[in-house]
Chain A
Amino acid sequence: MRGKPPIFCRSIKERLDELNYKDELYTKRTDIGFPPEKKCASTARINRLEQTKKNKNDKSLEQLARKGILEIDLDKSKEDWLASLGPLHKKQIAEHYAIYEHLYGEGFFIPHLHLDIFYDLKDGNCLPVYYGNVIKPAEALESPIVSFESDGNTLWTLALTNLDGHLKENNKEYVHWLIANIPGNSIEKGDVIVDYLRPFPLKGTGYHRYAFVLYKQDKEISYDLPQITTSSPLEDRTFSTRDWYKMYQDNITPIGLAFYQTDWDATVKDFFHKTLNQKEPIYEYDFPAPYIKPQEWFPLREPFNLYMDKYRDPKQINKEYLLRKLKNEDPFKTPPPPLKFPNAQYLPRNMPSWLKLHEKKIRNHWGRVNDV
């Protein structure tokens, strides 16, 4: 028998847990937000029971339910959700997207205040920012409309940062928008420290997260940051929310959160060429190389041509295919139409079978021909 008997050996789950074990030092999280508002449990219970009683006594509601056509008002439902479980659910999904980890390291907060953020699409439609929905860069060219509930006296700070898109350092962010000392909920009256910059997810790097965080200030703060306008170079926007928050944590507390994901589209190219005046970087995912077993002197039961091809330089092989393709091409003639029945074409009788197979593969566009 291989290995220990089943009663002694560990299961795959136990072994994975041991491999993925992290010390408490790294997994401990600190709440940096506001504590939840204290609600009287008994009042809530009484209200809930009353509401249930009311619904049970509502004859029209019962009729609708019995017929199976009762439809709830989704807007009203969302309002109730935001007032009750919303903040906790938002925290859960933000943790899933590792927002807190990359913004604050070990810190987290429960977003008690709902942020209403819309990108105006100019055709009468608005695109809201929730907690991870996808917005294309073309739809976020101009600064969004932000609103939140506020009494007139409090001052706020709003920050929009890009968690994934830094061109040089991977653990740094770009700050795309920073407004301090917002009185009430009028964004336009705040001090704009960093002007709005459109998102620019790089080609081939997938989805980048952009997070809006609203901070509540306890007094007026002048942040020690240089003024950044739309014409400033990109390097000036390099930012670390964690370091910045650490400096001002006595006076600001995060309370609202919204984030979206975005991936490349054609407008990013224009942005690089026209605004940044540089070449657009293009990336591709680096897949691990396939395992190829060491070459043998006398490989048995292997097709010799395919076997040898595995140990040749792939560029050389591709070159051969390319030369073959170019041999029949004439820039001054229209190319011949593709074969209608490629497998019914005549191949010389004295051609060896491996070469016939090779030809057929090329005619059918199978395998390495596609790499040219």
Chain B
Amino acid sequence: MYIVQIKYIDTGYIPKLVRFNSSVSGVFVNRNPRNLERLRIARKPDGYHLEKPGRKFWHKLVLTPTNRTVKAEVIHFVNGPIIEAKTSELALRNQLYSITDTCAYKNLGKVFAQRCLECGIMEMYCDIEAVKGGKVEKFLNEVEKGGIKLQEMEVYKKPEPWDRFRPEKPWEVTEE
């Protein structure tokens, strides 16, 4: 479903560009399905605000503790689970004393954050309400310490001429 066709129209006057630079087409389509989400102009599934677990996200962090294991996942709103880390997989259980205790949660947070960064997903929505001082809070702290932002930015809306303000375009913000 993710065939997000983006059209780019050259700034200014197309025939002029074609004359100066005939080797480049006037319309450019970026096929990267994650591009618009990173630029904050993709669609977010809105309209489910009456439901309790919100659905307004591109990526969402889901933590599923069971009696035997703890699983942390990133869910995409179309593609489903895309990144996962479990305490019962060899990477974690080989070095843990117990796979459900506080240390397991903390280390799961570290490993999970690292995997997310490696996959280029730095921001995700999170609606987990953690008990203060509990395991889940420690897990979330470790994930944040690992460099993941547990909040997703709002969708950028192009200002119409009659709108009061002109918010900054996310793709024109340059670092440093």
A34 proximity list for chain B (CB < 8 A): none
Q: Give the total number of A-B pairs whose CB atoms are below 8 A apart.
A: 206
B171 proximity list for chain A (CB < 8 A): 204, 206, 263, 285
A55 located at the interface, meaning its Cβ lies under 8 Å from any Cβ of chain B in the complex: yes
Count of chain A residues near B, Cβ 8 A: 77
A261 located at the interface, meaning its Cβ lies under 8 Å from any Cβ of chain B in the complex: yes
B90 proximity list for chain A (CB < 8 A): 48, 80-81, 83-85
Which of under 10, 10 to 19, 20 to 34, or 35 or more describes the interface residues of B? 35 or more
B102 proximity list for chain A (CB < 8 A): 68
> Is A261 within 8 A of B32, CB to CB?
yes
CA distance A261 to B37 in the complex (A): 13
A64 located at the interface, meaning its Cβ lies under 8 Å from any Cβ of chain B in the complex: yes
> Is B162 within 8 A of A306, CB to CB?
yes
> Is A170 within 8 A of B29, CB to CB?
yes
CA distance A309 to B23 in the complex (A): 39
> Is B17 within 8 A of A281, CB to CB?
yes
A72 located at the interface, meaning its Cβ lies under 8 Å from any Cβ of chain B in the complex: yes
What is the 8 Å Cβ interface bit string for chain B, positions 165-176, against chain A (1 contact, 0 not)? 110000100100
What is the 8 Å Cβ interface bit string for chain A, positions 230-269, against chain B (1 contact, 0 not)? 0000000000000000000000000000001101010000
Measured CB to CB, the closest approach of chain B to A303, in angstroms, equals 11
A278 located at the interface, meaning its Cβ lies under 8 Å from any Cβ of chain B in the complex: yes
> Is B161 within 8 A of A368, CB to CB?
yes
A112 proximity list for chain B (CB < 8 A): none
B56 located at the interface, meaning its Cβ lies under 8 Å from any Cβ of chain A in the complex: no
A61 located at the interface, meaning its Cβ lies under 8 Å from any Cβ of chain B in the complex: yes
A354 located at the interface, meaning its Cβ lies under 8 Å from any Cβ of chain B in the complex: no
20 contacts between A and B (CB under 8 A): A55-B93, A71-B106, A71-B107, A71-B110, A72-B107, A72-B110, A76-B94, A80-B91, A80-B94, A85-B89, A85-B90, A171-B31, A206-B39, A278-B21, A278-B23, A278-B24, A279-B20, A281-B21, A285-B7, A285-B8
B residues apposed to A, CB below 8 Å: 1-2, 6-11, 17, 20-21, 23-25, 28-36, 38-39, 41, 47, 76, 79, 81-84, 89-98, 101-103, 106-107, 110-111, 114-115, 117-121, 158, 160-166, 171, 174
State the 8 A-B residue pairs at the shortest beta-carbon distance, nearest first.
Answer: A132-B120, A65-B97, A130-B118, A283-B8, A81-B91, A70-B103, A72-B95, A206-B35
